[in-house]
Amino acid sequence: MAYIKNLFDRNFLEYASYVIKDRAIPDLEDGLKPVQRRILHSLFEMDDGKYHKVATVSGHCAKYHPHGEQSINPALVVLANKDLFIDKQGNFGNIFTGDDAAAPRYIECRLTPLAKEVFYNPKLTVWADSYDGRNREPVLFPAKIPVILAMGVEGIAVGMSTKILPHNILEILEAEIACLTGKKIELYPDFPTGGYVDVSEYDGGNGKVLVRAKLDTSDPKRILITELPFGSTTESIINSIDTAARNGRIKILGINDFTTDKVEIEIKLARGVYAQETIDALYAFSECEQSISVNLLVIKNGLPAVMTVNEIIKYHAKQLVKILTRELELEKKELLDKLHLRTLERIFIEERIYKAIEKMKTAKGVFDAVLSGFKPFAKEIGTRKVTDDDIEHLLRIPIRRISLYDINKARDEMLAINARIKEINAHLKNITAYSVAYLKNIIAKIKANEEIGRGARKTVVGEFDKVIAKEVVKRDVDLKYDIKSGYLGTNVGGSKIAEVSPYDRILAIRKNGMYSVLDLSEKAFIGAEAWFIGAADKDLLAKTIFTIVYKEPESGYPCIKRCVIEGWIINKDYFLVPDGSEVLHLDIRPKFSFTVHYTPKPRLKVLSETFKAQDYNVRGLKAGGIRLAAKEADRVECK
CA-to-CA separations, 275 to 194, 252, 464, 610, 612, in angstroms, rounded? 21, 10, 19, 56, 51
**Which residue in 3, 15, 18, 106 is the catalytic one?**
106
Whole-number Å distance between alpha carbons of 563 and 548: 9
Q: Checking phi first, is residue 98 left (phi over 0); if not, alpha (psi -120 to 50) or beta?
A: left
Query: 340 exposed, middle or buried (CB, 10 Å; 0-12, 13-18, 19+)?
Result: middle
Contacts of 460 (CB under 8 A, 6+ apart): 194, 195, 196, 197, 214
CA-to-CA separations, 528 to 17, 478, 481, in angstroms, rounded? 63, 19, 9
127-134 — which CB contacts under 8 Å span 24+ positions? 130/63, 130/64, 131/64, 131/66, 132/63, 132/66, 134/63
CB atoms within 10 A of CB 276: 9
Whole-number Å distance between alpha carbons of 87 and 310: 29
Q: Are strands 196-198 and 460-462 parallel, antiparallel or unpaired?
A: parallel
Whole-number Å distance between alpha carbons of 238 and 259: 12
Contacts of 604 (CB under 8 A, 6+ apart): 598, 631
User: Is 106 marked active-site?
Assistant: yes
Q: Checking phi first, is residue 81 left (phi over 0); if not, alpha (psi -120 to 50) or beta?
A: alpha
Whole-number Å distance between alpha carbons of 206 and 296: 6
AA identity, residue 613: A
What percent of the residues of the chain are helix, what percent strand, and what percent coil, each to the nearest 5? 40, 25, 40
Whole-number Å distance between alpha carbons of 488 and 495: 10
What residues act catalytically? 106
